[in-house]
Structures are given as structure tokens and as C-alpha cells.
Structure 1
């Protein structure tokens, strides 16, 4: 008797959940608008499933709402272009139109704080230590990604390629294999089968690329000193070891760059003075 009542209760609960899901889906299909409450999800988690995920901000909530609609209206457009269209729409929304998404984001952040405190309270000392270590690694990874993007935007030269990299880039198109992994495997096998004099060609190209990198890095570092970004120089001051030597080397690079900048400024000033003198003589 107890077993049958338990089964019937579970079936009733499942029916209610399915009806709520069907109702939400119908509203989304007919109106093209997802209710704010459907986006505001309560993060139910335990130690086994990991910490609760951070909630989405107002803009990302708008993206999730509009993306399926835009895909349905413009199936021929790429995903990147769809996101651009949604971003453009978001910028044109009024504060009143953005308000529901912002309020939902605030509520989700408050719920996240509660769930996170509950999650941390369940952890053992060893788990807390592991959580702190994981967080530290994530932050370091994000910092490395941001720094890489910054260096790319500042035009830092690409590192020199190895002989193998040059060989692979030149023969990738005609490589055997249907997938990238198969192509790389066949290319590495071909590289190992090359004779010494055949590899020497690519070794020489790699040496030339090193010279290119050295010259470009020298000019780039001088430019970084000129714009006040000496912290991006290759010669960094270590915490231990030969600290004095590293400091002298870095100062030498900065001094050379500053001297070059002053020379360029003097030439520009003298050129301007000469032109002004010639103009005064003519008058």
C-alpha cells in the first residue's frame, strides 16, 4: 500500500513539472519572450556537484532570450553576426526595457550569495583548501589570457617558429589524413623520415625567423618604453638569483630606448628650426 502511494505521488509530481515546462515553452513560442522568472534559476548544488555557478548579468540574459528568436528569423546568418545584432539591439533599448533583465540579475546575485555560503559551510578543511587552490588557478588563467590579449593589441611580434613548425605549415594542405590529428601525425612521420640536408633548409629558415623576431622585439620594446610600458619588457627582475644583473639589463634597455626617443625629438626640433629660419630669410 505504501509503495503504491509513493509511486502515485511521484507520478503526480512529474506531471506538474511537465505541465509547467510545457506552459513556459508555449509562451516562449507564441510571444517570442521568455518570462523573467524562467531565466532566474535557483542554483541547487551540493559538494559533489561543485560550487554554484555565478549568475548571468542583464546583457547575457537578454542574449539568451533573443538568440533563439534571431536564429529562427535569420537562419542564414552566422552565430557571430547574430550576437552582433543582439548587442546592437541591447544598446538601443531604453532603461525601462532593460530594467526587467537588470532586476532579474540582481535577484540572481542575491540568491547566488546565499547558495555559495551554504556550499562553503558544507566543505571540510581539505575541501576548502582545494577550493581556494582552484580559484587561484582560475584567476591566474584569466590574468594570463588578459595579458595575452593586451600584448596582441599592442602589436607584440610573434615568437620565432621552429623548423618543424615551418615544415608543417608548408605541407599541411597536401598532408595525408581526413582529420587534423591524422594530418599532424602523418606530417610528423614525414619529418622524421627526411634526410639531414632536407631538414637543413627548414633549420636555416628558423634561424632567419629568430633574427626577424630579435629585430622586431628590439623595436617593439623601445616603443613600449616610449609610451610608458616598460613593465612589458622581456628582462624582468626576479625575486631570487641574479637580481642585480637583471636590473642592470632592464635599465640598459630603457636607457637605450629613451636615448633613441630623445635623438628623434632633437632631429624633429632641429628640422622645424631650420624650416623656420629658411622661411624668415625668404620673407
Structure 2
């Protein structure tokens, strides 16, 4: 009976092994099908999936993308700003003939971009086209705002005055509760709300002093802007007379220049006729 029992046990073990193997292979096939169906991104032909075409790089940026790996390989651990500085120096040393391949590639990419942009817009519905137009306006407004802020910082525009809450938060931010900046700010606002009027009085006085500082600095700065010919940066409520007079002076200057140019052209034409 022992051999028969061993044979029975062996047969049952083989059956179990075969069933496990078949189940494993089945699961593998199922997982491969699932991965192929759900993990692999599906490429749709609609504009919603592909999105608008990306604006191509100019010749200089193409040169940067080409030279960046070489500089990173030769200078391990170099900072991105230093990489751009080195590549910019190399670009300035190139002759027009050496820059020509990059500029020509950029020109071809721009022409292809126009074709792709027209094709993409043709696939959009009226609602999608309006959404794209609105997004474009928002990006343009944001870009203009950033440029204006940089210009004002370069011209040294004074920083706006702070409120009592701003002063309180800046002084107690280091010991505020919370791990994230949002949590710290929330805890500081709660602490400010539970403070008494007497405790808030010192921050109110500091805010009033800071407001006086800002008003004095902004007036001096705006007067300087009018003097250097930038009345467009002056607030109408603060210096309306000086701003209008500066704008009027610029208009008179432009009109005088036009008159002078007209007189020069008339004189030149008379000289030619007399000859």
C-alpha cells in the first residue's frame, strides 16, 4: 500500500503544480492584457489629447540645448546659471556662418509650427477656440505684468506699506506652530485674532509709521519719474498736474519734430528741382 500511497500523493502534487502553473500563466496573460489596455496611454487624434503645438526654440536656444550636455560632462556639479553663462559666451564667439545652421533650423521649425497651429485650430470647436483665446490673453497679461514688475524694481519703486497683520506675521513667523508655511500662517492668523486691542496697538502704530514712510518715498520717486520722462508710471491721484504737463511736453516735442522733418523734406525737394 505504501507505493500506491506514494503514487497517489505524487499524482496529486503534480495536479496541484499544474493547476498553480496554469493559474500563474493565466494571471500573467491577464496582467499583460490589462497593462496593454490600461497602462499604455491611448493616442487620440483629437486636439484635446494632443494639445496645442509647442512653440519652437530660436537659434540660440537650440545651441544651448546642444552644448549643455558637453559642459555638464566636462564640469560635473556645475550650476545651471553657470552653464548658461558659458554657453552664452560661446554663442557670442561664433561667426554668422557658424550661427547660420541653428538659425535656419529655427526658421524651418517656425514654418512648421505655423502649419501645425493652423491644423490644430481647424480641429477646435467654437467653444474650444474661445477658451484657447482666453488662455492666450491671460498668458500675455501675466507676461506683461511680470515685465512691468521687473521694470519697476529696476527703477527702484518703493515697497508698499505693511498692514498690522503683516508686521505681526513677519515678527513671529520663526516660532509659529506648524510644519508647512500654510500651517504656520494659519496659526499666526488665529493668534492675531485672539489678541486684545491693547496688544494690537503697537502693530497698528508701526503700520501707520510705515504708511508715512511709503507716502514720502513714493512721492519722491514719482517726481523723479516725471523728471526722467516716465510720467506713465505716476499715479494720477498723486501728481496729476506734473503728469499732464510732462505728457503735454512730450506731445509738443513730437509735433515740433514733425514740423522740422516736413521743412527739411520741402527744402530738399526745392533743392533738387532747382538743380
Tell me the TM-score range normalised by the shorter chain. Answer: 0.5 to 0.7
SS at the partner of 2:66?
helix
The answer to whether the aligner puts 1:47 opposite 2:37 as a matched pair is no
SS at the partner of 1:53?
coil
Question: In structure 2, do the counterparts of structure 1 residues 164 and 45 end up closer, same or farther at CA, with 3 Å as the change threshold?
Answer: farther
Question: In structure 2, do the counterparts of structure 1 residues 72 and 193 end up closer, same or farther at CA, with 3 Å as the change threshold?
Answer: farther
The corresponding residue for 1:3 is none
Deviations for 1:17-63, whole angstroms, at most 9, x for unmatched residues? xxxxxxxxxxxxxxxxxxxxxxxxxxx98520322111011111122
**TM-score using structure 2 length:** 0.66
Mapped partners of 2:45, 2:87: distance in 1? 31
SS at the partner of 2:198?
helix
The corresponding residue for 1:80 is 81
Deviations for 1:224-255, whole angstroms, at most 9, x for unmatched residues? 111111111111xxxxxxxxxx6x96126666
Question: In structure 2, do the counterparts of structure 1 residues 249 and 223 end up closer, same or farther at CA, with 3 Å as the change threshold?
Answer: closer
Mapped partners of 1:193, 1:72: distance in 2? 57
The corresponding residue for 2:180 is 179
Rg larger in structure: 2
The corresponding residue for 2:235 is 234
CA contact (8 A) 1:45 1:51 kept: no
Question: In structure 2, do the counterparts of structure 1 residues 91 and 252 end up closer, same or farther at CA, with 3 Å as the change threshold?
Answer: closer
The corresponding residue for 1:204 is 205
Deviations for 1:158-190, whole angstroms, at most 9, x for unmatched residues? 111111111222222233333322332332233
Mapped partners of 1:234, 1:198: distance in 2? 35
CA contact (8 A) 1:225 1:254 kept: no
The corresponding residue for 1:224 is 225
CA contact (8 A) 2:59 2:106 kept: yes
Deviations for 1:52-106, whole angstroms, at most 9, x for unmatched residues? 1110111111222222332333233322222222222222222233222212111
Mapped partners of 1:254, 1:210: distance in 2? 26
Could you tell me which runs of 5 or more consecutive residues in structure 1 were left unpaired when the two chains were aligned. 1-43, 236-245, 257-283
Question: In structure 2, do the counterparts of structure 1 residues 105 and 88 end up closer, same or farther at CA, with 3 Å as the change threshold?
Answer: same
Mapped partners of 2:241, 2:77: distance in 1? 56
Question: In structure 2, do the counterparts of structure 1 residues 84 and 119 end up closer, same or farther at CA, with 3 Å as the change threshold?
Answer: same
**TM-score using structure 1 length:** 0.64
SS at the partner of 1:113?
helix
4+ runs of 1 displaced by more than 4 Å? 252-256
Counterparts of residues 88-107 of structure 1 (less than 5 Å) = 88-107=89-108
CA contact (8 A) 2:177 2:183 kept: yes
CA contact (8 A) 2:226 2:242 kept: no
CA RMSD of superposed structures (Å)? 2.4
Could you tell me which runs of 5 or more consecutive residues in structure 2 were left unpaired when the two chains were aligned. 1-43, 247-275
CA contact (8 A) 2:68 2:83 kept: yes
Equivalences, count:
202
